Amino acid sequence: MLTAIREIGRRLRGTNSIDELSTLIQEPFQITPKKPTPVVIFITVNLDRDKYDGVQLEEYESTKVDRYLFRKGPSNGPNPMPVAHFTDVEKTFTKKILAWFKEYQKLDETGMAARLGDVLQKNQQKITQDINDKIKDIDKETKKLLTVKVKKKNRCNYLGDLAIFPQLLRQIVNAQVAKGSALNQVCSICGQKKQVTGDPRIYRFYTIDKPGFIAGGFNEANAWKNFPLCYECKLDIEEGRRFVEENLRFNFYSLEYYLIPRLLVSGVQSELMEILLDSQKLISLKSGAKKKITSDNYEILETISREKDVLTVNLLFLKKEQSAERILLLIEDIFPSRIKEIFDAKDRVDALFQEDDGAGFNFGKVRTFFAKSSEGKKNNDLDKYFLEIIDATFLGKKIDFTFLTKFYLAVIRKEFIEDRYFKARVNDALMGVMFFKELGLLTFQEAKSMNESIFSNVLTKYGGMLNSPAKQGVFLLGALTQLLLNKQYAERGAAPFRKHLKGLKMDGRDFRALLPKVRNKLEEYGSFDKGKAQIAEEVSRAFLKAGENWKIAADELNFYFVCGMNLAEEIAGIVYQGK
């Protein structure tokens, strides 16, 4: 994965002539239209008179990123430049700005940093108060950046305007990299013998802040042996990461993922790779995206699916937790042909469910069941299962049907009891099952010695899911029950028979006992006509054939039952042909 990111960075740095400084400078904020524009708080120092000159506020402008010189540093120490995200005066002014001057002013041979540091130190109290006064009217939601502005010869300069600060930035980062480095060792990414660092600080899923993380002796001085990285590769990876974060980040139902393209064999030409690595072209590619399977409007997987198998993509699901970054899932080397299979499966499922509202199958139909285990939960606690399903989909791993039905039923039951979106959820579940079936992730054994019946078409339509008499019987019973509920609704505006369905927690015995109850109730309503009798007859036949011991999980049985309920109209269409 890192090699792929480094390849991206290297190409960008080569083709766009991105210099070292541009790679080192980071964007402090991600600007989105929904969020308020961040504010930059400047502590102004008049260098002509070595005097503190007040605090100024300016709106943040991303075009000035080269002048702000922001680069994130350690959470418990100053950044490489006296520019920091503002949290409160104590934390930011003292621990980030003043601390920077204390630690690094000696590196500046011109003495300018020392003079600035002196002014800030002497006016510490006044500055603290001025900052508090200035920000008291700013909304707490608004993000802020704290830095220093230097007045010199009646001109206001940002740090980046003064030659010394970019120079210091390079020097400080270089010194950090050199700390704990080793000379003339093999870089793990480019394979060349160079000076390598042991604490590259690129992605925070690699840290050496605990001794146990240093394999082979827990000795920090030997950390470079674990992950030796040269300075050039570090810059390439940083540039690659920046590009991927800005341009190839997508949303997968509240989970963020990065799409990292890579050529399978180096030296192969790929037009799509060129487009993916060109921000301008990528924008038009994203806006032209037609079909999608995730919640992201700009998802481009379908476009990739049309590419030849010379290119692969990695999907990196990363979660940022304060200063740490956790890899939730990394799916490596997905071929365009696999993505095409996924879209083809989606097309087949969409065709099968013609009555769908037009959106067709997408992973939202799966996410519905794999987000929260109960509505009271603050955060999504079923992410790991959802990620397993994404993993299985892209890599073609089998999914356990019992596992799926367990989660499907949990949501369907709730909707049934609360009488809300029951039909829609059953439809979502069925679409999901068919999608996985089409992809070969779910396999159902061929049905043995099934009787030909008028319902055969419907029973086989759903991909062999109903492959035993018991499943078929329960499915048809579901349809019959729904017809009864419809009748009750029509007659009374309510369906009290629902209470006989035990909150959809029925077992084999319950289903067998349900048939006569449904039949009796239909007779009471005078609605047990020839069509319903045909369905009931088929259910009885199936139950008799299935015998006593069904050996099917209750969740699964209830799933077939609700599928039958959902498709009652289709079953009714068969028995009431022409009516």
Partner 1 sequence: MKVLVFDIWGDYAHFRKFYTTTSPLTFSFPPPPTIAGVLGAIYGTTKETNQYLKIFGGDECRIAVRIIKPIKKVRLGLNLVDTKLGWTLKRRTQIRTEFVKAPHYRIYFSHQDQQILKDITASIKEHKTVYTLSLGLSELLANFKFVGEFNGVIKNDNGWVDIFTPITEENLIPKGIEVETGKKYIKEKIPIKMTPERVVEKYDEVIFEPGGQTIKARVKSYCHLDNGENIAFFWDLLPSRGTS
Residues 3 to 22 in contact with partner 1, rule: CB under 8 A: 3
**Rule CB under 8 A: is residue 309 a binding residue for partner 1?**
yes
At closest approach, how far in Å is the CB of 333 from partner 1? 5
Q: Per the structure block, which two tokens stand in for 510?
A: 């319950």
Asked whether the beta carbons of 463 and 444 are under 8 A apart, the reply is yes
**Rule CB under 8 A: is residue 403 a binding residue for partner 1?**
no
Alpha carbons within 13 angstroms on the beta-carbon side of residue 359 total: 13
Q: Which of 107, 186, 417, 454 binds partner 1 (CB under 8 A)?
A: 186
**Rule CB under 8 A: is residue 216 a binding residue for partner 1?**
yes
Angstrom distances, CA of residue 343 to CA of 361, 385, 386: 10, 22, 19
Any idea what DSSP says for residue 512?
A: H
At closest approach, how far in Å is the CB of 217 from partner 1? 8
Interatomic CA distance for residues 191 and 470, integer angstroms? 62
**Rule CB under 8 A: is residue 421 a binding residue for partner 1?**
no
Distance, C-alpha 154 to centroid of its chain: 50
**Rule CB under 8 A: is residue 222 a binding residue for partner 1?**
yes
Interatomic CA distance for residues 72 and 265, integer angstroms? 35
**Rule CB under 8 A: is residue 204 a binding residue for partner 1?**
yes
Angle at 137 (CA atoms; ends 135, 142), nearest 5 degrees: 70
Give 460's contacts (C-beta < 8 A, 6+ positions apart). Answer: 447, 466
Q: Per the structure block, which two tokens stand in for 288?
A: 């032209």
Q: Which of 189, 277, 483, 575 binds partner 1 (CB under 8 A)?
A: 189
Interatomic CA distance for residues 107 and 101, integer angstroms? 10
Interatomic CA distance for residues 366 and 295, integer angstroms? 12
**Rule CB under 8 A: is residue 102 a binding residue for partner 1?**
no
Give 551's contacts (C-beta < 8 A, 6+ positions apart). Answer: none
**Rule CB under 8 A: is residue 231 a binding residue for partner 1?**
no
Any idea what DSSP says for residue 494?
A: S
At closest approach, how far in Å is the CB of 385 from partner 1? 11
Give the x-and-dash track for 311-330 against partner 1 (CB under 8 A).
-x-----------xxxxxxx
Query: In the complex with partner 1, which residue's Cβ is closer, 132 or 323?
Result: 323
Asked whether the beta carbons of 394 and 329 are under 8 A apart, the reply is no
Query: In the complex with partner 1, which residue's Cβ is closer, 129 or 323?
Result: 323
Query: In the complex with partner 1, which residue's Cβ is closer, 208 or 515?
Result: 208
**Rule CB under 8 A: is residue 197 a binding residue for partner 1?**
no
- How many residues of this chain interact with partner 1, rule: CB under 8 A? 52
Angle at 443 (CA atoms; ends 315, 397), nearest 5 degrees: 20
Asked whether the beta carbons of 161 and 67 are under 8 A apart, the reply is yes
Asked whether the beta carbons of 153 and 48 are under 8 A apart, the reply is yes
Interatomic CA distance for residues 253 and 251, integer angstroms? 6
Give the x-and-dash track for 143-172 against partner 1 (CB under 8 A).
------------------------------
Interatomic CA distance for residues 24 and 292, integer angstroms? 35
**Rule CB under 8 A: is residue 306 a binding residue for partner 1?**
no
Q: Which of 226, 270, 295, 373 binds partner 1 (CB under 8 A)?
A: 226
Q: Which of 2, 120, 441, 515 binds partner 1 (CB under 8 A)?
A: 2
Angstrom distances, CA of residue 342 to CA of 10, 79, 434, 436, 455: 31, 45, 12, 9, 30
Query: In the complex with partner 1, which residue's Cβ is closer, 209 or 419?
Result: 209
**Rule CB under 8 A: is residue 570 a binding residue for partner 1?**
no
At closest approach, how far in Å is the CB of 386 from partner 1? 13
Query: In the complex with partner 1, which residue's Cβ is closer, 72 or 340?
Result: 340
Q: Tell me the window of 119-127, 140-148, 202-210, 438-446 that interacts with partner 1 (CB under 8 A).
A: 202-210
**DSSP calls for 374-414:** STT-SS-S-HHHHHHHHHHHHHT----HHHHHHHHHHHHHH
**Rule CB under 8 A: is residue 183 a binding residue for partner 1?**
no
**Rule CB under 8 A: is residue 264 a binding residue for partner 1?**
yes
Interatomic CA distance for residues 558 and 465, integer angstroms? 13
**Rule CB under 8 A: is residue 493 a binding residue for partner 1?**
no
Query: In the complex with partner 1, which residue's Cβ is closer, 204 or 286?
Result: 204
Q: What is the number of other CB atoms lying within 10 angstroms of the CB of residue 176?
A: 17
**Rule CB under 8 A: is residue 77 a binding residue for partner 1?**
no
Distance, first Cα to last Cα, the chain: 61
Angle at 62 (CA atoms; ends 57, 68), nearest 5 degrees: 60
Q: Which of 105, 185, 303, 405 binds partner 1 (CB under 8 A)?
A: 185
Q: Which of 333, 507, 510, 570 binds partner 1 (CB under 8 A)?
A: 333
Q: Tell me the window of 119-127, 163-171, 264-272, 488-496 that interacts with partner 1 (CB under 8 A).
A: 264-272
Q: Which of 34, 63, 75, 265 binds partner 1 (CB under 8 A)?
A: 265
Q: Which of 31, 215, 513, 544 binds partner 1 (CB under 8 A)?
A: 215
Q: Report which of 139, 156, 155 is spatially closest to residue 147, judged by C-alpha positions.
A: 156
Query: In the complex with partner 1, which residue's Cβ is closer, 216 or 358?
Result: 216
Q: Tell me the window of 44-52, 134-142, 218-226, 483-491 that interacts with partner 1 (CB under 8 A).
A: 218-226
Q: Which of 29, 206, 298, 444 binds partner 1 (CB under 8 A)?
A: 206
At closest approach, how far in Å is the CB of 323 from partner 1? 11
Asked whether the beta carbons of 55 and 125 are under 8 A apart, the reply is no
**Rule CB under 8 A: is residue 225 a binding residue for partner 1?**
yes
Q: Which of 20, 118, 302, 332 binds partner 1 (CB under 8 A)?
A: 332
**Rule CB under 8 A: is residue 344 a binding residue for partner 1?**
no
**Rule CB under 8 A: is residue 227 a binding residue for partner 1?**
yes
**Rule CB under 8 A: is residue 123 a binding residue for partner 1?**
no
Query: In the complex with partner 1, which residue's Cβ is closer, 4 or 83?
Result: 4
Q: Report which of 482, 474, 453, 462 is spatially closest to residue 543, judged by C-alpha positions.
A: 474
Backbone angles phi, psi at 52, to 5 degrees: -75, 135
The residues of the shown chain that bind partner 1, judged by CB under 8 A, are: 2-3, 185-186, 188-189, 191, 203-213, 215-217, 222, 225-228, 262, 264-268, 309, 312, 324-330, 332-333, 335, 337-338, 384, 387, 391, 395-397
